Amino acid sequence: MRSPANLICLSLVGLVALAAILAPLITPHDPAFISVADRLQPPSLDGEYLLGSDHLGRDVASRLLFGARVSMGVGAAVVALSCSLGVILGLLGGYLGRAGDLLMRIVDGMLAFPEIVLALALIAALGSSLLNVILALTFVFVPRVARVVHASVLSLRNREFVLSAEALGCSPIRVVIWHILPQALGLVAVQATFIFAHAVISEAGLTFLGVGLPPGGASWGAMLSEGRAHLLDAPWITTLPGLAIFSLVLSLNILGDGLRDMLDPRLVVLPPGRYGRRLRGGQNGDARASSASSR
């Protein structure tokens, strides 16, 4: 929270989430209302369309707000499902021995496919709908979380506190839930921010290609696709949703970096002063911290 960049990004993500929640209450027009007489109206502070209208006369501001509902909803659902399933697969893969190794080889096979190609194949099989987009992206991002949790379990299962719990007679389920899982949740939280950002981009990309949200729905990807033919005479149709996607994804990535730094035990936090607030850990970092403290 001491970083101005993190505060700005957190505020922006919170603002987008609030706008998505309140979209039905604050939109000036129906995002699906077509008015051919008002098509391609430029943005105007004193006019009827604050951010202009598109080629069908629909209000761009209203479609942006309802598009935020789609992006935030898809991102939140994909994060919740992929992190839950990924944590389960990672824990099983790291604690089941040979059966776990076989499970992780299946996960590795899923990682071998390009994300967008795998999502396109799944949606082609399931059909175009918002629910199928969420399911396809969940299937795509589960291996990421599973690999992170699996690596964490492998580094923890032979540590002293885990061996002590097993020596005291704790069941494997108790060891996994109470001793290993809490140590991996920090990495999962960091991964969740990046998955959220990738889910927003993937949903917009799939809708842009025509296989995401059904035609006519308010989505940032649909706005980009529909405005391609009017890049020169009505650039606001594509510029505004493009800036919205760029700002949200950049903010999520910066927040993920900040969260990773906050949860990194190798960062040595020093009191404010001329020696700075944080030094990178390890032997060199510890030496610099000790030297700065002694001085």
The answer to whether 63 and 224 have CB atoms below 8 angstroms apart is: no
- Same domain, yes or no, for 87 and 217? yes
- CA-CA distance, 81 to 88, in Å (whole number)? 11
- Tokens representing 79? 């994060």
- Same domain, yes or no, for 281 and 199? no
- Same domain, yes or no, for 236 and 288? no
Give the confidence band of 243 by pLDDT, cuts at 50, 70, 90: very high
- pLDDT, one tens digit per residue, over 164-191 is 887 887 777 788 888 888 888 888 888 8
User: How many distinct structural domains can be found in the chain?
Assistant: 2
Expressed as residue numbers, the domain containing 175 is 4-39+51-264
Highest-confidence segment of 37-41, 119-123, 285-289: 119-123
- CA-CA distance, 19 to 13, in Å (whole number)? 10
- Same domain, yes or no, for 128 and 258? yes
- The model's pTM is 0.81
- Altogether, the residues listed in the chain come to a count of 295
Does pLDDT of 141 surpass 60? Answer: yes
DSSP helix/strand/coil, 231: coil
- Same domain, yes or no, for 179 and 200? yes
- Same domain, yes or no, for 293 and 195? no
What's the CATH code of the domain at 230? 1.10.3720.10
- Same domain, yes or no, for 237 and 92? yes
> Which of 129-138, 221-230, 258-267 has the least mean pLDDT?
258-267
Q: What is the maximum alpha-carbon separation in the chain?
A: 77
The residue written with tokens 């824990």 in the block is: 91
The answer to whether 87 and 204 have CB atoms below 8 angstroms apart is: no
- CA-CA distance, 181 to 201, in Å (whole number)? 29
